Amino acid sequence: MQIVILNNSDDVASYGANIFIQQLRRKPSSVLGLATGSTPLALYRLLIGANQVGDVSFAQATSFNLDEYLGLDGQHKQSYRYFMDQQLFDHIDIDKQRTFVPPGDASDPIEACERYERQIAQAGGIDIQLLGIGRNGHIGFNEPSSGLMSRTRVKTLTKATIEDNARFFSADEYQPHLSITMGIGTILDAKKVLLLATGANKAAAIKATVEGALSASCPASALQLHRNAMLVLDEAAASQLDDCDFYKHIEAENQKLQARLAKG
Ligand SMILES: N[C@@H]1[C@@H](O)[C@H](O)[C@@H](COP(=O)(O)O)O[C@@H]1O
């Protein structure tokens, strides 16, 4: 895992946005894996800005979102489809027909999960997968105990995740307890994985992800198996890491090497 520790959440968003912009410039037809939650919001705003001034185009890109609440259709204001339309898709030049979010209103969710996997494969696989992380180490809606080789499927949310996400729902609003999520195996198949974490409330999950054992108890620890996984953290999210200075040293050396290679 490559661990990048930056001063604050703004720096995390611009670092992440730049990786997406470089990816799209290198391969305009990239298949992007996208995430919801509050963490990627600032990154999405930067991508919208870059798209609107012509620095990057999504016209040939395809996207697949990690997850969706089961029981909400895409018009529902708390659905992840609605979130993605509002926060990104409606403001960039992506072809909406090529933006995929698991269908929360599927009449046959099991078949819908299998279809989602086929759609990802038909698109050629995910080039770069963006991830946030839950306080309990979940990625997508792969809660603790999720199989490390799992594929897209229906998952039950933990009490902690339901409570964390309750802030998006009004008191009298139905909050689903089930989801459709890409599996950990699906995520690990992405060519590159970019996990963003900001704030002290993610520090324990980041500690377990980076320095804990590979374990279904912390689903994000599965990224230890990935060949090209990058974690971009602010100081607060990195605050429980024992080897912070070492990770900063490696990153400084990486930057020097990149600069030398760029000079030729
Ligand atoms: N399914 C999403 C995850 O994909 C996200 O990473 C997590 C953290 O969200 P936040 O970034 O708001 O902390 O929330 C939800 O549970």
Domain CATH for 49: 3.40.50.1360
Please name the residue whose Cα sits nearest to atom 7 of ligand 1. 134
Amino acid at 136: N
Please name the residue whose Cα sits nearest to atom 9 of ligand 1. 37
Closest ligand 1 atom number to CA of residue 202: 13
Over residues 136-194, the pLDDT tens digits come to: 999 999 999 999 999 999 999 999 999 999 998 998 899 999 999 999 999 999 999 99
**Is pLDDT of 17 > 90?**
yes
C-alpha of residue 139 to centroid of ligand 1, in Å: 7
- Phi first, then psi: give them for residue 34, nearest 5 degrees: -120, 160
Over residues 78-129, the pLDDT tens digits come to: 999 999 999 999 999 999 999 999 999 999 999 999 999 999 999 999 999 9
Question: Is 232 within 8 Å of 192 (Cβ atoms)?
Answer: no
Tokens 């997406």 appear where?
A: 20
Closest ligand 1 atom number to CA of residue 161: 16
**Is pLDDT of 37 > 90?**
yes
Question: Is 36 within 8 Å of 67 (Cβ atoms)?
Answer: yes
- Using CB distances shorter than 6 Å, the residues near ligand 1 are 35-39, 66-67, 132-134, 140-141, 161, 165
- Phi first, then psi: give them for residue 105, nearest 5 degrees: -105, 20
SS3 (DSSP) at 163: helix
In our burial notation (b when 16+ CB lie closer than 10 A, e otherwise), range 117-144 reads beebeebeebbbbbbbbbebbbbbbbbb
**Is pLDDT of 264 > 90?**
no
Closest ligand 1 atom number to CA of residue 181: 1
Distance CA 134, CA 131 (A): 10
- The reported pLDDT for the residue numbered 194 is 98
**What residues contact residue 70 under an 8 Å CB cut-off, 6+ apart?**
104, 109, 154, 176, 178, 179, 180
Q: Pseudo-torsion of CA 69, 100, 120, 160, nearest 10°?
A: -20
Beta-carbon-side half-sphere exposure of residue 64 (alpha carbons within 13 Å): 29
Which residue range(s) make up the domain with 149? 2-263
- The reported pLDDT for the residue numbered 98 is 98
Over residues 163-172, the pLDDT tens digits come to: 999 998 998 8
Tally of domains within the chain: 1
C-alpha of residue 67 to centroid of ligand 1, in Å: 10
- ipTM of the complex in this document: 0.96
- Using CB atoms within 10 A of its CB, is residue 7 exposed (0-12), middle (13-18) or buried (19+)? exposed
